[in-house]
Chain A
Amino acid sequence: MFDPKKLIRKGLPKGHFKDAAVRSLLAGVTYLVVIIAALLFGKIIVDGAPVLFKAEAPFVDFEFLTAKNETLHVFDDALGNRHQLPAAAYSAYLDKHPGEGIFNEQTFSYSGGGIAGPIVGTALLTIGSMILALFFGICAAIYLSEYAKQSPFIHAVRLAILNLAGIPSIVFGLFGFSVFVLAVPIITSTPADRSLLTFPLFFGNYFVSFQGWNSSLMAGCATLACMILPVIITASEESLRAVPQGFRDASLAMGATRWQTIRKCVLPFSLPGILTSSLLAITRVAGETAPIMFTAAVAAKDDLPWQGLKSPFDLLSSQVQALPYHIYTLAARIPSSEYTQRAQYGSVFVFLVLVAFLSAGSMILRSKLRAKLKW
């Protein structure tokens, strides 16, 4: 029976200590993750920031960002002064001081100079693959959200998107290598032996040869575009669907065609959303290493991508350095020492700052967009 006195609790609520313990355990786990993440970045910032920034104006060491990547030579001159010079400066030094011996010489690959090559290469790869992926991705999303009805085709497309999104990046690397590097058609006057299929064109002495684009910028862009396509399609479709159905109905009711409706009443409102989520896709494209290892990236290259080109096509068909691959090379192929730290931590710091800017930008834009677009 009802006993009003039971309602008044004496002391702390039942199970108070157990609840508090569980709660603090969960909080501890959560903050542990946060703190570990913070510590790791702290370490990179502490070691990497001095490479990029300096005490006096303009405070940023632009040389690190704009100089080519070279081998680092470390040596003592006859007076016991230690020099650290990248390859070009090293040979200049030797020319300037002939006959003076140098001692204790050590060389460190990839550790001298700056990281202009990798930065430019990553930028080219990212721009190229994003252009491809955005074009095809937005078009596919328009079909899925504006035209598609229930059909086996749509079902297959959705299944394909779902599966593509889960494929490991190294498998994309294998795919890019076997398709874009070795098998896609190319027009050439001298088809290679390993060509899968060759047939002559009607003019000149040219053949269409299915021999691939070799390891090149365009093969890398195509591979990365395939990898990011499902992400772009999903994000674009979401943005397109966020446009209220009423906009379309109103437009169609006034006699506009489907395409006019999409162009005037749907795309303009969803583009900001699409581009915002693409920013996040950029961080993924820029950060992937496995797909470009065999399709585009090269560890060392003397020229920047646009130097020494005979035709613009050469830019697309040449290999490039890339920041993630550069970091891989620095981490895996050279021993860590006080002379390589500048290159190692500097590159990672620059890369991380880039990624942080992109993802923070995407987060901020997204929350702004949500606040602005309320239908």
Chain B
Amino acid sequence: MSQEEISLSPSHHRFQKRGFSCEKAIKYFFASNAGLTIVILVLITIFLLKEGLGFFPGYQRELEVYRIAGLEFVDISRKNLTAQEQLTSVLNRAYYAEINGQAAREMKRSKEASALFNAYSEQTGPTRDLVVNNSQAASDPKSEMLAILKTNFEKQKVKALASLPATPHLEKNERADLIESIRTRAVDSTEDPPLVAALAAELAAAQEKYAVPLQGMRATIDSFSSAGSELSSLVSEMTESVTATKEKIQGADILEKDRKTLLAAAASAKDLAEREKLTSEATASLAEKPDVEGPIQRLMERRADCVKAHQALQKTTGGILAQLPENLRQPDARRLLKVARATWPLFIADLEKTPAAIHAWKYDAPVPLTAAISSFLTGKDWVTGGEWQDFYGILPLAAGSLMIALVALIIAIPSGIGAAVYVNQFASPREQGIIKPVIEFIQAIPSVVLGFIGILVFGTLLRDISTWDSLQWIPGFPIEERLNIFTAGCLLALMSIPTIFSLSEDAINNVPSAYAEASEALGASRFQTTFRVVVPAAFSGVLAAVLLGLGRVIGETMVVLLVAGNRIKIPDFSSGLSTFFQPCHTLTGIIAQELGEVPLGSVHYRALFVVGILLFAIVLAINATAHHFVNKMKH
């Protein structure tokens, strides 16, 4: 007799349960709640993929249009033009750095004087405007009102004069004179105080003086700059025609899409009449195939001109390098000149390759899907909403995220682990009672508050500190942008310190005390025990802590959105350590910034979801590795 027959038989033992019990229902209810977590994870994956995967075919079509319309052809020349412009700007910066470096004293003095005057004008501005406007408008100059306005102005003036900025490079009597001249200034005077004007003139004279020996360099730069003019006019001419073609193709694409929607609607319509109506509408909207051949052929005819312009540019460029001065005196100028010299051969090599590229270019070469994928993963540009062509290259964002994470970890790893070792091994219980809650509280601070602190307090503070004369030896000081990689990295370090601290502390705490006891019994001191036995034994756990901290840093959004500066560009690594003081954009920040503004279902919208998928994958991989180490620690 089988099992089932027993349970079906009417005479059963009284311990035996019958049918579907209430208990079972309760159990399944709870089980389904636990299953909810799986459902959520699956939903996240499905919906990210659903929205994201459409990106690649869409991007492929965009790249195809880019090629068919001839934009790609123009970009071959445009790329060289941009490179030439950038080189010009580097040379120009070197030129001015040389002059201004020599005239540094005059420059500082002039700047300080005008800063002082500007601070005064800013504070007294509104009250002064009132006095001036009313004395012109009011017919009765003796009116009571004007008197009140004037007293207000005087009050404000006293206040402003009491809080002027410091001027370390002005002589004491110069400053006193300047303040005196401001005090005695007529209300409606529009001229600068004499010292400000004098210092400005002094600066101009100095600049002129130092420019004299550099005349040769100036001429060289100018000739290089004008060498690109032929190519430039050619490019702008071609730009117009290809943009028109692109618009036509895009218009046809949209019509085609509408038609397909109509046809689909027709297929699913129940009513025969409605179906016919929809079908006829669809046929009517059949787009005429845009004429691609004509404009492309015309574009191809310009090939020879393009090649000629490039050859001319190459000829001029080749000679320029020899004409530049051997060396410059100012360190900044020297560095820039070095950069120019280093990039020069690359530029020339590019120019040499260009004619071949121009001839080899084919408008009807197919764009495979892999091209879209590789353009996304290795593209150096993330350009959206532009008039020319949208590119979705992840590199600038990934580079930004990585640089920020690097700064954050460089700061957070030593301080987080150091604090954990200190608190666990050396701190008295009383110190622990202070340090632990404070660090725990840092963890509870919402990230948007940290971002706020970064934007309003820390960024400004850092920029002010970077102008101190005693800190000028630090590369990148004074910093140009208040919001940059370093600022964001510091704040993220503050965010990840609690994670690294508490998990490392746990790991160190979990090292069996028998280890420490044995070590001391063998004659090791407290310090040797800590650093040779306890910390190495906790290594896996500490590593996991660092990885989880990294996961937190990479996934953090609000701080980087507010503080990283949001410039979508691969940081310029040629500037050495001052690279860390450039603004950047991040994987998380781009989603937060752009998702609210893109049309649903567009390629751009889908690109953001692909970034999300990438982020999801990176963070999951980091966490999985971390948990691997945690499990290793347990065994």
* Chain A positions near chain B (C-beta within 8 angstroms): 13-15, 18-19, 22-23, 25-27, 29-34, 36-38, 40, 43-44, 76, 78-80, 82, 103-104, 136, 139-140, 142-144, 146-148, 153-154, 156-157, 160-164, 166-175, 177-179, 182-183, 194, 226, 229-230, 233, 257-259, 280, 283-284, 286-290, 293-294, 324-325, 327-328, 330-332, 336, 344, 348, 351-352, 355-356, 358-360, 363
Please pick, from A44, A160, A283, A356, the residue contacting B37 in the complex, using a CB distance under 8 A. Answer: A160
A80 touches B435 (CB 8 A): no
Contact B36 A136 (CB under 8 A): yes
Q: Which residue of B lies closest to A290 (CB)?
A: B557
Q: Are A160 and B438 in contact (CB under 8 A)?
A: no
The 20 listed contacts between A and B (C-beta, < 8 Å) are A30-B418, A30-B427, A30-B435, A44-B449, A79-B145, A139-B33, A147-B31, A154-B34, A157-B35, A166-B555, A166-B619, A167-B555, A168-B555, A170-B592, A178-B51, A294-B595, A324-B449, A348-B449, A355-B446, A356-B441
Chain B contact surface mostly: helix
Q: Which residues of A contact B423 (CB under 8 A)?
A: 30
* Cα-based distance from A103 to B43 in the complex (angstroms): 57
Decide: A40 and B615 in contact? CB cutoff 8 A.
Answer: no
Q: A36-B494, A226-B40 are in contact. Are A363 and B615 (CB under 8 A)?
A: no
Asked if residues A174 and B595 are in contact (CB atoms below 8 Å), the reply is yes
Q: What string of 1s and 0s marks CB contacts (under 8 Å) between B404-429 and chain A?
A: 00000000001100110111001100
Expressed in whole angstroms, the Cα–Cα distance for A140 and B551 within the complex equals: 26
- How far apart sit A359 and B133, CA to CA, in the bound complex (Å)? 55
- Say yes or no: A167-B448 contact (C-beta < 8 A), given A140-B30, A157-B38, A229-B36: no
**By CB atoms of chain B within 10 A, which of A76, A166, A287 has the most?**
A166
Contact A258 B446 (CB under 8 A): no
Asked if A140 contacts B455 (CB within 8 A), the reply is no
Do B37 and A233 touch across chains, with their CB atoms under 8 A apart? yes
Contact B452 A80 (CB under 8 A): no
New A-B contacts (16) at CB < 8 Å, excluding given A26-B422, A168-B555: A26-B418, A29-B422, A32-B415, A40-B458, A78-B134, A80-B148, A154-B34, A166-B619, A168-B616, A174-B608, A179-B43, A183-B47, A230-B37, A294-B595, A328-B451, A348-B452
How many of B's residues come within 8 Å of A, CB to CB?
93
Q: A168 and B437: CB pair below 8 A?
A: no
State A169–B561 Cα separation when bound (angstroms).
13
Question: Which of A171, A287, A293 is B596 in contact with, Cβ under 8 Å?
Answer: A293
Q: Please pick, from A15, A40, A146, A174, the residue contacting B527 in the complex, using a CB distance under 8 A.
A: A15
Complex CA–CA separation, A108 to B444 (angstroms): 31
Complex alpha-carbon distance, A140 and B33, angstroms? 5
Give every chain B residue within 8 A of A178 (Cβ-Cβ).
47-48, 50-51, 609
Question: Are B441 and A289 interface neighbours, CB within 8 A?
Answer: no
Across-interface contacts of A290 in B (CB, < 8 A): 557-558, 588, 592
Q: Are A173 and B444 in contact (CB under 8 A)?
A: no
The reply on B519 being an interface residue by CB < 8 A is no
Residues A328 and B419 in contact, CB atoms below 8 Å apart: no
Question: B149 is contacted by which of A80, A162, A293, A351 (Cβ under 8 Å)?
Answer: A80
Q: What is the minimal beta-carbon distance from A185 to any residue of chain B, in angstroms?
A: 14
Once bound together, how far apart are the Cα atoms of A142 and B612, in whole Å?
Answer: 33
> Is B439 on the interface with A (CB-CB < 8 A)?
yes
Q: Is the interface of A mostly helix, strand, loop or mixed?
A: helix
Name which of B21-29, B84-92, B222-230, B243-251 contacts chain A: B21-29
Bound Cα distance from A231 to B622, whole angstroms: 19
Interchain CA distance A61-B159 in the complex, whole Å: 29
Q: Which of B517-549 contact A (CB under 8 A)?
A: 525-527, 548
> Do the beta carbons of B40 and A164 come within 8 Å of each other?
yes
CA–CA, A259 to B562, complex, Å?
50
- B623 at interface (Cβ–Cβ under 8 A)? yes
A-B pairs, top 4 by smallest CB distance, nearest first, are A287-B446, A168-B555, A143-B30, A139-B33
B591 at the interface (CB under 8 A from A): yes
Chain B residue at smallest Cβ distance from A157 = B34
Residues from 375 to 415 in B contacting A, C-beta threshold 8 Å: 414-415
Q: Is B205 an interface residue (CB 8 A)?
A: no
**Does the CB pair A104–B129 fall under 8 Å?**
yes
**B437, B455, B497, B612 pick with most chain A CB within 10 angstroms:** B612
B1 within 8 A of A: no
Alpha-carbon separation in the docked complex, A40 to B442 (Å): 11
Instruction: Decide yes or no whether B453 CB sits under 8 A from chain A.
Output: yes
Decide yes or no: A37 and B442 within 8 Å by CB, A327-B452, A331-B452 being known contacts: yes
Contact B448 A289 (CB under 8 A): yes
Q: Is the CB of A166 within 8 A of B127?
A: no
A242 to chain B, nearest CB (A): 18
A167-B616, A327-B452, A348-B449 known; A79+B149 contact, CB < 8 A: yes
Q: Which residues on the A side are within 8 Å of B558 (C-beta)? A: 289-290, 324, 328
Query: A166 is contacted by which of B30, B40, B134, B623 (Cβ under 8 Å)?
Result: B623
Tell me whether B556 is interfacial, beta carbon within 8 Å. yes
Asked if residues B561 and A344 are in contact (CB atoms below 8 Å), the reply is: no
Pairwise interchain contact A194-B441, C-beta atoms closer than 8 A:
no
- Check if B164 is an interface residue, CB within 8 A of chain A: no
Cβ contact within 8 Å between B616 and A171: yes
